[in-house]
Copies of this chain bind each other. A is one copy, B any other.
C-alpha cells in the first residue's frame, strides 16, 4: 500500500474514556508536492498524553483536533519526493502531519534531523518535545538545585525519565513514582533514581512518606488525582511545583484536591506550563539534552506499537499507563 495514504481521522469527541470508535481508518490518494514542497513518508508517530486534551471541543491551550480531519501529532519520516532546494530525497525530517503515512509539507513545517548517531525516534522523545518539557519544568519552573529533593510521577515515561536523570546530573536526590514494580525497578536500576514508589501499592502513602524524610523541594507533576493530593502534603516550605499534566483526570471527572492548604502554609509556588510557549528556548535546550544523551546521562525506553491502525489503541493504553517508556507507533 505504498501508493496509498493511510490515515486515522477523528470521528467524535469522547465523553469520558477515549474509545477506539472515536477514530476511523481511511485511505486517500497520495498527492504530488507543489513548488517549494516535499512529500514525506512517515515512519514514527509520537503518542503523548496532551493528545487527549485536543480531542475535546473545550477551550484548551491548543486548537482542538477537528472532527473529520486527520488526528494531530508529531512524526518523523523521510522525504520521498522534493520540490524544495533545501530538502532532498532521503532526508529524515520531524513534522506535524499527524496520524497518516504520507503527507506534503513546506520548508517551514519540517525540520531535518540527523540520524547518523541518534535514533530517529529519539527526536520524538528524549531529544524532542518530551525532553524539552522535562528541562523546562525542572530547570525553568522548579529551579532545582544541588542537594534538593526532586519528585516526579509517571517516572518511567517519556517526560518523567528525563526529569529524573537531569535532576540526578544536577546533584539532586530523586524519587520517582510509577505504576507497578517493573517500572519502579527500571527507574531505580536502569535510570539510577534514588528511589521509586509504586502508586498501585496499597500502602503507597506510607511508602512515599518514608522515602521522603526531608520532604519535597521540587515536584514535577504529571498525573494529578490522589497522587498529587498526597504529594502536596509532603512539600517543604518554599518548594516549587511544575504542573505539567493531570493524566489520571483526563478521561474522568476532575479530582477534588483537598490539599491546597499546603500551598498556603508552605508558601509553595505551583505553576502550570506548556512547552510550546517558549519556542525560542528549544534550540539551546535540545543541544544540552544531546550532550547529556551522548555522555550516557539520558537513557530511555521505547514503547512501540506497530501499524497505523493500532494508533488509537496505543493512545488509550498510554492514557491508562499501560505503556512502558516513550510511546510511538512504527509505521514501517
Please give the residue numbers on chain A whose beta carbons come within 8 Å of chain B beta carbons, in ascending order. 53, 59-61, 224, 228, 237, 243-246, 249, 253-261, 263-274, 277
In contact, B263 and A243 (Cβ under 8 angstroms): yes
Contact of A269 among B258, B261, B265, B269 (CB under 8 A): B269
7 contacts between A and B (CB under 8 A): A61-B266, A254-B261, A263-B270, A267-B272, A267-B274, A269-B269, A270-B271
Q: A249-B261, A261-B249 are in contact. Are A272 and B268 (CB under 8 A)?
A: yes
Contacts of A258 in B (CB 8 A): 253-257
Q: How far is the CA of A243 from the CA of B241 in the complex (A)?
A: 15
Q: A256-B258, A258-B254, A258-B255 are in contact. Are A264 and B245 (CB under 8 A)?
A: yes
In contact, B264 and A254 (Cβ under 8 angstroms): no
| Residue on B nearest A62 in the bound complex, by CB | B265
A27 to B: closest C-beta gap in Å: 35
In contact, A264 and B272 (Cβ under 8 angstroms): yes
Contacts of A260 in B (CB 8 A): 224, 228, 243, 246, 254-255, 257
Contacts of A273 in B (CB 8 A): 267
In contact, A272 and B266 (Cβ under 8 angstroms): yes
Contacts of A60 in B (CB 8 A): 265
Q: How far is the CA of A249 from the CA of B261 in the complex (A)?
A: 9
| Residue on B nearest A225 in the bound complex, by CB | B260
In contact, A237 and B270 (Cβ under 8 angstroms): no
Q: Which of A245, A246, A254 has the most CB of B within 10 A?
A: A254
A26 to B: closest C-beta gap in Å: 30
Contacts of A253 in B (CB 8 A): 258
| Residue on B nearest A269 in the bound complex, by CB | B271
Contacts of A256 in B (CB 8 A): 255-258
Q: Which of A224, A244, A260, A273 has the most CB of B within 10 A?
A: A260
Contacts of A264 in B (CB 8 A): 243-246, 272, 274
Q: How far is the CA of A172 from the CA of B326 in the complex (A)?
A: 45
